[in-house]
Amino acid sequence: MEIRKIGIVGAGQMGNGIAHVMSLAGYDVMLNDISDDALSNAMDLMKSNMERQVSRGKITADQLSDALSRINCTTTLSELGRTDLIIEAATERETVKQAIFEDLVPHLQPHTILTSNTSSISITRLASRTDRPEKFMGFHFMNPVPVMQLVELIRGIATDEPTFSACKEVVEKLDKTAASAEDFPAFIVNRILMPMINEAVYTLYEGVGSVQSIDSSLKLGANHPMGPLELADFIGLDTCLAIMNVLHDGLADTKYRPCPLLTKYVEAGWLGRKTDRGFYDYRGETPVPTR
């Protein structure tokens, strides 16, 4: 099946990044969110990010205008039923995702593929709440989408080969690299990354090092481009905690127990860059460690 029209649920950080790369690759995009303001902000951000690509010679001005003209916005979820492939990129809460798929199902074409950009939730379980588990899979982009090269493709227990092949073809058309992952909690990237971040928070919690010393140690000692606490702020501490809870609940191993300090930051609403405070305070000219 040839995929031409792509529906994206959620116009936040991930959704607008996915719309950005899909439209540049020549796909017609239908972007959905519950808020007109969110859609307007997403379009402004995409335009700004594409203009930066033009200034760096990565795309042309014509490519920018063509890409933006391929994106249509809607607050009506059912309108996505006319697309060939739907990528759900809503918040990382299973109940929210299930409700979205249940609302979509009555409006889908028989051939429409359903996917989720979830970073940790069971694809098999999400698929079981739809009428097409064989046409359902995980389509996990990395953040920021226009920059990061990898896409994890996750098959549920019922996902058929034509669905996987169609999604892999989309990844190739985006000029990105697909990694095939099995449907176990947090898949590949976050199964490895999140426990490292959680251990960095434990290192802070236990007083082994400060925010600054922990991040400097990993950047200079392990050649990481960002320190683990800086990266946690970039991802969102609520997302980090949600993934650790999925790992802990799904694998029943105490090594995945979320650090109490991570829970405390989330309870305080200090979620990282998106709230201007996390392990760093971003309200001034330069980030200042909060601990």
For the annotated binding site for NAD(+), the residues are 10-15, 33, 92, 97, 119, 143, 274
224 is catalytic: no
Set 23, 116, 122, 190: catalytic member: 190
Concerning whether 140 is annotated as a catalytic residue, the answer is yes
Q: Which residues are annotated as a binding site?
A: 10-15, 33, 92, 97, 119, 143, 274
> Is residue 252 packed enough to be buried (19+ CB in 10 Å), middle (13-18) or exposed (0-12)?
exposed
Place of tokens 């236990």: 206
Catalytic pick among 20, 152, 198, 230: 152
For residues 60 and 88, the answer to whether their CB atoms sit within 8 Å is no
Active-site residue, selected from the candidate residues 116, 122, 140, 198: 140
Provide the CA 110 distance to its chain's centre, in angstroms: 26
Tell me the pairing of strands 136-141 and 113-116: parallel
Partners of residue 5 on adjacent β-strands = 28
Q: Which of 215, 240, 233 is nearest to 92 (CA)?
A: 240
Catalytic residue status for 152: yes
From 23, 32, 116, 119, the catalytic residue: 119
Q: Is 190 a catalytic residue?
A: yes
- Residue numbers annotated as active site: 119, 140, 152, 190
